[in-house]
A and B are shown apart, each in its own frame.
Chain A
Amino acid sequence: MQFKYDLEGGNFSRAGHASSEVKKILKQLNVDARIIKRIVVALYEGEVNVVAHAHKGVVMVDIDEKRIYIRIEDEGPGIPDINLAMQEGFSTASASVREMGFGAGMGLPNIKKNTDQLNIESEVGKGTVLEMTTMISS
């Protein structure tokens, strides 16, 4: 079953829309609350990343009986050094983004912590693709 959500760069008030919708779906599917929490946290961080850094993006979600696959694709500056970006506390967020309480450098590390499988591909000046897979049943 597939779902798609659009993301708009700079619109922080909408960040959290996709994770909120995915949460509602997973609750209806009777997925364990702890697993829902991990997925929602990871997706929310992913959404905030796009909103904070990119021009626009799209979230594609695919759910089957075993797992949820989420692909976040954006058009944006890309990540020059993914290993560095994965370090806790590393952030390239602008001062204005930080003022809003975002940009603490916990985004990608938090996503990694809350997904079973994470894949990041990025091209500087073009954009980033984040793929997260999490098992929803044992």
Chain B
Amino acid sequence: MAQEQFYHALKVDESLCYGCTHCMFVCPTDAIRIRSGKASIRKDWCVDCGECMKACPVNAFYIEQDDFDKIFNYKYRVALVPVVMIGQFPSNISESEIFSVMRELGFTHVFQTEHTVDVINEAMINELNKHEERPLISAFCPAVVRLIQVRFPSLVNQIIHVKPPIDASAIFFRKMLQDKGIPDDDIGIFYVTPCAAKIASVKSPVGDDKSPVNGVINMDFLYNKVYQGIKNRGGKTSRSPGDNLPNLGPKSIGWSLTNGEAPYMKGRCLAIDEIHNVIDFLEKIENEEITDVDFLELRACDESCAGGVLVVGNRFLAVERLRKRAQLFKDIHGTPEDLIPYRDYLMGKLPLKPIEPRSILKLDEDMTLALRKMQQVRSLMCYLPGIDCGACGSPSCQSLAKDIVQREAQLSSCVFIQRMMEKHKKLHADHAIRIIEKTWGKDRLDKDCTKLGAKNEGM
């Protein structure tokens, strides 16, 4: 099978991973297996939702980001900051304080990601009017777009082919700087990301050849730097927050939160957050159990971007702060003034290319072989215990059966099958231990008092 390589921001630090099963069980696409005592991610199955990272008890998952010093490769260093970043700070810290510290850190410009929301909204409504198929689904959340590609391939054509704010704003700000006479090579746009999926969408974009964003900075990293900067200067401003900072209105402030897009679309619109809720709903859409919905706003994280895996603060508090903020600026409407002359230019750049399905569900390209494999899976299920304990290194008996059929595991990986084999003298006890060590790592079953929860934990 010809598989292109997918970039994933989520990585496992093997020195920290001790091979528990938390991540494997929460992964919504069954993309994780335990091999040699470490979690391993199947690249073409992973949608970068970050559930594994949220579930890991020892912080073994990390999100690869660009080296901060990479910003200095550019003469003009633009930070593209999403609204949820502002929501991280207590309300007594002002937006201009945050942005002036960011300029002290080395950025020449600080722009807000949701600046272009009004134009995006217009383009999305145009698409809604143009297409008959229902419901149409927002392309806002890159994890959802990838989820649809791998698990709901029949729905890819229902994704609205309009770029999300990260791309739209990068395109606009780049053009605006170019028009001031700055050469394109001198402009470096760095997105401050709340999640892994956005990084993956920058490094290997879906529906676009190349991302207009040059690099990505993790929000938790920048939050620490900025917060430290604010604490250290004790209210003294050494640098202005920059010129291009019009206040955003309620629509832009709320856009990345749950129910951010839905109220501004047309017809019957629903907003659904958290990846399992999204999956449940997409199942119903795929079965045509729900047909009278026009627009779906789907977000992988609980409380949308405020619940992103790189967002440091409590998501409910962040949402509350941002809602208050939206209330404060409730009189700001419409397209920001500096964007008006660029409206047509941006409109022309917003369409996404077709999004290809890439199903991970099919057992084989060839239907005859797939049918045979499914028969084998069903036969194997007669023997597997149906306990879904994960002790084989696969998330369920069903997935072990599929792994066996795909020659990625063996029936003897199952600890219960091993017991039966030992009973019938088909497997020697030493051999059984070797099999377990293959999945869970050498000496895994030896006494170890330093492991999590044991009496000398961490010593």
Contact = CB atoms under 8 A, between A and B. Distances in A.
B98 to A, nearest CB: 46
B288 A37 contact: yes
Contact of A64 (B154, B283, B371): B371
Interface in A20-68: 20, 23-25, 27-31, 33-34, 36-37, 40-41, 44, 63-65
A52 B361 CA distance: 32
Interface stretch (B59-67, B226-234, B362-370): B362-370
Name the prevailing secondary structure of the A interface residues.
Answer: helix
A28 B378 contact: no
A94 B371 CA distance: 41
Nearest to A33: B154
Contacts of B184: none
Interface residues of B, number: 23
Contacts of B443: none
A27 B361 contact: yes
B317 to A, nearest CB: 36
A61 to B, nearest CB: 13
A107 to B, nearest CB: 13
A40 B357 CA distance: 19
A22 B68 CA distance: 50
A57 to B, nearest CB: 18
Interface string A9-26: 000000010011001110
B370 A29 contact: yes
B260 interface: no
A82 to B, nearest CB: 24
Contacts of A24: 361
A28 B374 contact: yes
Nearest to B362: A30
Given A30-B359, A30-B363, A30-B364, A63 B371 contact: yes
A12 to B, nearest CB: 11
Interface in B198-237: none
B91 interface: no
Given A27-B359, A28-B363, A40-B287, A33 B153 contact: yes
A36 B363 contact: no
A100 interface: no
Contacts of A23: 286-287
A31 to B, nearest CB: 7
B153 A65 contact: no
A95 interface: no
B288 A29 contact: no
Query: Which 5 A-B pairs give the minimum distances between C-beta atoms?
Result: A33-B154, A30-B362, A27-B361, A29-B370, A28-B363
26 contacts: A1-B371, A1-B374, A1-B378, A16-B284, A20-B283, A27-B153, A27-B359, A27-B362, A28-B361, A28-B370, A28-B374, A29-B367, A29-B370, A29-B371, A29-B374, A30-B362, A30-B364, A30-B365, A30-B366, A31-B367, A33-B154, A36-B154, A37-B288, A40-B288, A44-B288, A65-B368
